[in-house]
Structure 1
Amino acid sequence: MLGYAAYADRFAGTLADVGTRASYLRELGVGYLHLMPLLTPRPAPNDGGYAVMDYRFVRPDLGTTDDLRDLATVLRSHGISLCLDLVLNHVAREHEWAVAARAGDPEKRAYFHVHDDRTMPDAYEATLPEVFPDFAPGSFTWDDELAGWVWTTFNDYQWDVDWSNPAVLCEYAAIILELANLGVEVFRLDAIAFLWKRLGTDCQNQPEVHELTRALRTVARIAAPAVLFKAEAIVGPADLPAYLGVGPHAGRVSDLAYHNGLMVQVWSMLASRDVRLASYALQQLPQPPSTTSWVTYVRCHDDIGWAVADEDARAVGIDPVAHRRFLSDWYSGSFPGSWARGLVFQHNELTGDRRISGSLASLAGLEAGDAGAVPRILLAHAIVLSFGGLPVIWMGDELGLPNDLGWADDPAHAGDNRWVHRPRMAWAEAGSDPHGITTGLRHLVDVRRSLPQLHAAVPTEVWDPRDPRVLLVVRRHDDGPLLAAVNVSDEEAWVDADVLHWLGLHTPGLRDAVSGTAPALVAGAVRLAPWAAAWLYDGGA
């Protein structure tokens, strides 16, 4: 299966208009469509729709709940499952719960983390990182009507709900079932890592998060067993496996989880032209439970934070702080020789962290006119498509859309440069493909579909590199192994003969599925062109 993610209005217009594009998606090979937040948000600013004012109604400019039901039906008729965001950590301060709390309702006040003075907020903030230090510093906001300090992890208009209150769990269980009745098949559990608060910690990835997810999943399995949960847990490598379940929670929490680590390592490899850090870091993650899968991606709606674990970098002789600084410099275009055209998002002066905004095409060099841009774009897609899991394409990446240079023209977006990589869909360009990106991506998708080794259920092995420029990913299937070999450099590289021997691929039947040819062997090794991928398998004599 292939996924696709988009803002409904920027992709097509209304929900009804999205339905008219179902054939386009299906022709691309899409079987899963994630539409970004479309439930009623507060008036702008609303964090791109993640400040929800009402979970039970659709944003008026997009349509109605009936339109949502109709869209789900249309998509299903094309073999496409609909995924929607469910914001679990917070609601807009205009949400009925918050309005009631401000009006003095003690029951609804207990839905939130409220403190009468700064004693507890100061104690918590001693260990809390800031999510948006540039425009939303701190994690608590004073509200006059509430007469208290309310927890606001993200923005002052997004009030964190208190998941230690059983009534909150019941509210969200009901919301899930109502949306499932409209035809929503997958719920992206937004900001799930932040749900549980514990003094003296960073209040992320707490064990209770997984207990809560399991409780919600149990309700869904009873009343709507076809519904899946996708964890939006953009966390460090050590914390990520728990969102698919470990120990007693294995296979009993979320069904899908973002492989943020893979995305980060793709960009790290392209900038450094070196796979050693990526190979080591990816080896540290265990295989997900057999009933679950990763969601893999090159770009999404959000910025890129350099989630490179210090211990992973040091294990391969890299200074983690220097490497993260290099990646920010490279992708903001300030490093000498960089072909990237990204923007710095949220520079944390205290830690030095700088996240990056930018489209796939602009970060890979297409906007700069670099000759290697298109091969790099297709290489990034090839890595994600061959790694396993559910690969998801961000809207417009199939066309190679560059940064939206007019992103700040909309006053509602002017303070958030992530809108630079959220352009409106360029339908006029959908059939032209001047760079060959659409054709190349469609080819990779078609080839992937033909190979049983690349099914999501087949385990993924990342091997130690023999050449620091070549990533080696092995997928073992009853039909025989497949080796995805990726050259992340602008020089010719080789797949060592020993690697082919170890996999039993040193045969006359050796084929490269990407090129559709039998690769020429030189001393038993396979040549890889610059920025090229080969999917090697035994195709028979």
Structure 2
Amino acid sequence: MINNKVQLITYADRITGQGIDELSNLLIGPLNNVFAGVHLLPFYNPIDGSDAGFDPIDHSEVDSRLGSWDDIKVLGANYDLMADLIVNHVSAQSFQFKDVLAKGKQSEFWDLFLTKDDVFPNGMSEAEQQAIYRPRPGSCFTPITCGDGQTYDFWTTFTDNQIDINVKSTAGIEYLDTVLGKFADNNVNIIRLDAAGYAIKEAGTNCFMLDETFEYLNKLSAQANEAGMETIAEIHSHFQTQVEVAKRVNMVYDFALPPLILHSLFSNDAQALLNWLTISPRNCLTVLDTHDGIGIIDAGPMGDKPGLLDAAQIDNLVETIHEKSEGQSRLATGAAASNVDLYQVNCTYYNALGADDFDYLLARAIQFFAPGIPQVYYGGLFACENDMELLARTNVGRDINRPYLNAQDIDAALAKPVVKGLIKLIQLRNEHPAFNGEFIAKGEGSVCRLSWHDDTSSIELKVDFASREVIIVDHREGEQSIVDLADFLA
């Protein structure tokens, strides 16, 4: 059972400048008693591919620069430990695909990879190609000539260095089974199903979140559960899809929450946020920022489906982020900076709020009071600002929010009032018993009230976005205390 306490999202190397053992030391040192769990972002060989570890050459091997499976096992013995099962693809540099490049269909690994002909054996029409849901611009196929002299259109949903797996083939099933086995043997107890919404492709569909995809998620989740692990689906899509996916797996991400909080802070209107919190999945993880950008599609309309925000509100949200970040996010988003996707804004959450300490702490307070288990990204924990130097060096949009930190950076960040205040909020979320009780959301106009209560205690966050008056009312052991959120910055 996952602890209902705050978790950290981090790379091992980017938070310490070193590896997994050093991360463990950080968690029992300066961050002692702050986090109950860790989402350890890809630690596979290699960590520095074209997509920061999400394009593994060997998904079952720990990058030796970070440590070993023994280090993973130690970390998982002390914390809830989440790892990414990269369901959709493997690196074009993998030994399996290199064998395919050399031998074509004669390779023993041929069936591990998905080609256009696997899905469209009778050819694909222009209409069928246009119907495919795309997370990035351009074609989802990459023509590659193999050693047998034949050119094949391999399915590459994200980049041409990420070759899609044929998850229906025996080879695809065995590949993912091997990785799951490694996780189970080394104290990983939460599996993040990365890019799972794209795993199943069928001719005549949009090849995203199909009925068969739901069945596949059911099967993967059950398999992980049998091995003692829980699953969380990582899917950016319409909010109704998240509600449906939540019924099929142990947990989902509440990706609609981050843009809705920004909208409330920018517009001083709580209604869209309140509407969502009355229907949002309760079996969820909440985030504001991650290693990816700030999701926008999750709160907006899709086709003829209305969103939690309308198109004009989404446009205003995006433009306000660009304005608050003084144009930095615009340089890292959309068609700029070699972006893989077009549905996220690349920016630190702190800079998306204009580096305003109070608004940032308020955003975190809302996250912690919303239903679900909160996760805090390492850049957000230390209130990092956009890393424009790293962005300029790599021209990878997401790197604006993937800084490399060292011990001196962390010491400086821990001295900042906003970081001290955030850690106090985390400890309140971890310690208060009412967060294991019932949730109620109320309010109208610029006011929202988020409360939790059990048989003996309660806690409520009262927010007036217009006046920025924010208090926390805490009832415990027969006593009541009222704290102004501004006091957390004192």
Pair in the same fold by TM > 0.5: yes
Aligned 1:54-453 pairs, distance under 5 A: 54-63=58-67, 67-74=68-75, 76=77, 79-102=78-101, 103-104=103-104, 105=106, 108-115=109-116, 119-120=123-124, 122-133=126-137, 137-145=138-146, 147-222=151-226, 224-225=227-228, 227-245=229-247, 249=248, 253=249, 255-285=250-280, 287-288=281-282, 293-306=283-296, 307-310=298-301, 320-333=310-323, 341-343=328-330, 345-347=332-334, 355-366=344-355, 373-410=356-393, 413-414=394-395, 416-432=396-412, 433=414, 435-453=416-434
SS of residue matched to 2:112: coil
| More helix per residue | 2
Cα deviation digits, residues 200-245 of structure 1 (max 9, x gap): 33222112223223323333333x32x2222112222100123332
Which amino acid letter does the alignment assign opposite residue 309 of structure 1?
G
C-alpha displacement of 1:71: 4.0
Cα deviation digits, residues 380-425 of structure 1 (max 9, x gap): 1101111132111111322222111211354xx32x1210111122
C-alpha displacement of 1:68: 2.9
Q: Note if 1:39 corresponds to 2:44.
A: yes
Q: Distance in 1 between matches of 2:185 and 2:30?
A: 24
Do the aligned partners of residues 420 and 162 (structure 1) sit closer, same or farther apart at CA in structure 2, a change above 3 Å counting? same
Cα deviation digits, residues 168-208 of structure 1 (max 9, x gap): 22321222012321222222110011111123332221122
Which amino acid letter does the alignment assign opposite residue 61 of structure 2?
F
Structure 2 counterpart of 1:483: 460
Cα deviation digits, residues 34-93 of structure 1 (max 9, x gap): 12111114974x212111111121223223xxx2323431552xx312222111001112
Cα deviation digits, residues 492-526 of structure 1 (max 9, x gap): 5899xxxx9xxxx9xxx8845544xxxxxxxxxxx
Q: Note if 1:460 corresponds to 2:460.
A: no
Q: Distance in 2 between matches of 1:341 and 1:114?
A: 38
C-alpha displacement of 1:354: 6.2
Q: Note if 1:52 corresponds to 2:43.
A: no
Give aligned pairs, total: 465
Which amino acid letter does the alignment assign opposite residue 472 of structure 1?
R
Q: Residues 291 and 398 of structure 2 are in contact (CA less than 8 Å); yes or no, is this contact kept in structure 1?
A: yes
Gaps of 5+ in 1: 367-372, 516-528, 534-541
Q: Distance in 2 between matches of 1:141 and 1:189?
A: 24
Gaps of 5+ in 2: none
Q: Distance in 1 between matches of 2:126 and 2:317?
A: 33
Q: TM-score scaled by structure 1? A: 0.77
Do the aligned partners of residues 90 and 123 (structure 1) sit closer, same or farther apart at CA in structure 2, a change above 3 Å counting? farther
Q: Distance in 2 between matches of 1:191 and 1:108?
A: 22
Q: Distance in 2 between matches of 1:439 and 1:140?
A: 48
C-alpha displacement of 1:329: 0.9
Q: Residues 238 and 307 of structure 2 are in contact (CA less than 8 Å); yes or no, is this contact kept in structure 1?
A: no
Q: Residues 258 and 289 of structure 2 are in contact (CA less than 8 Å); yes or no, is this contact kept in structure 1?
A: yes
Q: Distance in 2 between matches of 1:189 and 1:40?
A: 18
Q: Residues 116 and 141 of structure 2 are in contact (CA less than 8 Å); yes or no, is this contact kept in structure 1?
A: no
Do the aligned partners of residues 35 and 346 (structure 1) sit closer, same or farther apart at CA in structure 2, a change above 3 Å counting? same
Q: Residues 300 and 394 of structure 1 are in contact (CA less than 8 Å); yes or no, is this contact kept in structure 2?
A: yes
Q: TM-score scaled by structure 2? A: 0.85
SS of residue matched to 1:85: strand
SS of residue matched to 2:354: coil
Do the aligned partners of residues 417 and 277 (structure 1) sit closer, same or farther apart at CA in structure 2, a change above 3 Å counting? same
Structure 2 counterpart of 1:520: none
Do the aligned partners of residues 473 and 198 (structure 1) sit closer, same or farther apart at CA in structure 2, a change above 3 Å counting? farther
| Percent pairwise identity | 21
Structure 1 counterpart of 2:23: 18
Q: Distance in 1 between matches of 2:212 and 2:343?
A: 30
Indicate the structure (1 or 2) with the bigger Cα radius of gyration: 1
Q: Residues 293 and 398 of structure 2 are in contact (CA less than 8 Å); yes or no, is this contact kept in structure 1?
A: yes
Q: Distance in 2 between matches of 1:257 and 1:24?
A: 31
Q: Alpha carbon RMSD of aligned pairs, Å?
A: 3.2
C-alpha displacement of 1:338: 7.4
Do the aligned partners of residues 486 and 114 (structure 1) sit closer, same or farther apart at CA in structure 2, a change above 3 Å counting? same
Q: Residues 8 and 35 of structure 2 are in contact (CA less than 8 Å); yes or no, is this contact kept in structure 1?
A: yes
Do the aligned partners of residues 115 and 107 (structure 1) sit closer, same or farther apart at CA in structure 2, a change above 3 Å counting? farther
